[in-house]
């Protein structure tokens, strides 16, 4: 048991891709909440995410999606909000106090904005579109990490001294920024924050490249992102 009031009657299905940071943030939160879940790998190489069966789950044709009983929900941050609202009755992960709630939302917007279009985009380009320079993405990442480095000098986590879904939403693409050629060496405070998340009971990591990519890289490069090159 996880100590929370509500508990899924059956394992929550997480439709994901193993190198997707958006998928990983959901898996990480499910694991930290000690909720039962089942991973369903979506074959992005075979474009399974663009087939009618998957589009019925998410018309945007993107992972992650969860199914919790009768509920089907797409979008990583929406899923974090749902899981926190439904399964954390103590409201630690999504505080209800107006300023705290707004601060969490602000960092969810960062995860969907500068983080997605900075370090996450640089990683995607570096891993899958090797000819790309990713200069704009790297500049965005630097701006973002400068802000986070300063911000985290004042608190242990992004919103106060206890972890919230703001930290979960921003963890993966920050931790994996080096895969996009962005060093975290200049950011000791940021690295301390990553370590605090990694030391939480139930922490699970995402596959790292090139290990994670070893068997998939050539296939991915030629099929998955070719349309975006
Ligand atoms: N806003 C979405 C973004 C999800 C996203 O970008 N998913 C990527 C994998 S990381 C995807 O499915 N890409 C395939 C595509 O867009 O065709 C979320 O937060 O879940």
Is 210 part of a structural domain of the chain?
no
Cα of 220 vs centre of ligand 1, distance in Å, is: 15
Per-residue pLDDT tens digits for 11-25: 999 999 999 999 999
Shared domain check, 174 and 119: yes
Shared domain check, 25 and 66: yes
Q: Which atom of ligand 1 is nearest to the CA of 111?
A: 19
Shared domain check, 190 and 102: yes
- Cβ(172) to ligand 1 under 6 A? no
Residue nearest to atom 15 of ligand 1 (CA): 62
Shared domain check, 109 and 62: no
- Cβ(8) to ligand 1 under 6 A? no
The CATH number of whichever domain residue 138 belongs to comes to 1.20.1050.10
Shared domain check, 86 and 16: yes
Shared domain check, 61 and 135: no
Ordered alpha helix ranges (H), the chain: 21-32, 52-55, 76-87, 98-112, 114-115, 121-128, 135-151, 165-175, 188-198, 217-223
Is 214 part of a structural domain of the chain?
no
* The pLDDT value given to residue 213: 52
Shared domain check, 77 and 137: no
Per-residue pLDDT tens digits for 199-220: 999 999 998 866 445 445 444 5
Is 184 part of a structural domain of the chain?
yes
DSSP, residue by residue, 62-75: -S-EEEETTEEEES
Instruction: Point out the domain boundary residue: 91, 119, 134.
Output: 91
Is 175 part of a structural domain of the chain?
yes
Q: Which atom of ligand 1 is nearest to the CA of 23?
A: 10
* The pLDDT value given to residue 210: 61
Q: How far is CA 20 from CA 8, 35, 84, 130, in A?
A: 24, 20, 21, 18
Is 41 part of a structural domain of the chain?
yes
Residue nearest to atom 5 of ligand 1 (CA): 62
Shared domain check, 137 and 106: yes
Q: Which atom of ligand 1 is nearest to the CA of 64?
A: 20
d(CA 134, CA 196): 29
Question: Dihedral, CA atoms, 171, 177, 178, 181, nearest 10 degrees?
Answer: 180
With residues binned 3-state (H G I as helix, E B as strand, rest as coil), the percentages for the chain, rounded to 5, are: 50, 10, 40
Per-residue pLDDT tens digits for 166-192: 999 999 999 999 999 999 999 999 999
DSSP-derived 3-state class of residue 204 = coil
Shared domain check, 189 and 157: yes
pLDDT-based confidence at 228, cuts 50/70/90? very low
Is 143 part of a structural domain of the chain?
yes
Cα of 22 vs centre of ligand 1, distance in Å, is: 7
Please, is 98 exposed, middle or buried when counting C-beta atoms within 10 Å of its C-beta (0-12, 13-18, 19+)?
Answer: exposed
Cα of 4 vs centre of ligand 1, distance in Å, is: 30
pTM value is 0.92
Number of domains making up the chain: 2
Shared domain check, 83 and 20: yes
Residue nearest to atom 1 of ligand 1 (CA): 75
Shared domain check, 65 and 36: yes
Structural domain including 77 reads 12-91
Mutate-to-test residue for ligand 1 from 14, 58, 63, 165, highest number of ligand atoms within 8 A of CB = 63
Per-residue pLDDT tens digits for 128-157: 776 678 999 999 999 999 999 999 999 999
- Cβ(25) to ligand 1 under 6 A? no
- Cβ(170) to ligand 1 under 6 A? no
The CATH number of whichever domain residue 75 belongs to comes to 3.40.30.10
Is 223 part of a structural domain of the chain?
no
Shared domain check, 176 and 104: yes
* The pLDDT value given to residue 181: 92
Is 229 part of a structural domain of the chain?
no
């Amino acid at each position: 048991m996880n100590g929370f009031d509500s508990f899924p009657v059956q394992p929550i299905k997480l439709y994901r891709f193993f190198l997707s940071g958006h998928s990983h943030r959901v898996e990480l939160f499910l694991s930290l909440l000690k909720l039962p879940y089942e991973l369903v790998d979506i074959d992005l190489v075979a474009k399974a995410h663009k087939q009618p069966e998957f589009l019925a789950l998410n018309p945007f044709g993107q992972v992650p999606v969860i199914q919790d009983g009768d509920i089907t929900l797409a979008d990583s941050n929406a899923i974090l909000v749902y899981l926190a609202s439904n399964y954390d009755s103590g409201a630690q992960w999504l505080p209800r106090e107006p300023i705290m709630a707004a601060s969490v939302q602000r960092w969810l917007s960062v995860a969907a904005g500068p983080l997605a279009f900075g370090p996450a985009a640089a990683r995607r380009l570096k891993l899958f579109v090797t000819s790309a320079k990713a200069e704009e993405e790297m500049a965005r990442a630097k701006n973002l990490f400068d802000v986070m480095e300063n911000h985290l000098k004042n608190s242990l986590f992004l919103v106060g001294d206890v972890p919230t879904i703001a930290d979960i939403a921003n963890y993966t693409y920050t931790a994996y920024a080096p895969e996009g050629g962005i060093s975290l060496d200049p950011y000791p405070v940021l690295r301390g924050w990553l370590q605090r998340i990694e030391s939480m009971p139930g922490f699970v990591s995402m596959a790292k490249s090139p290990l994670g990519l070893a068997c998939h890289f050539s296939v991915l490069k030629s099929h998955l992102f070719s349309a975006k090159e």
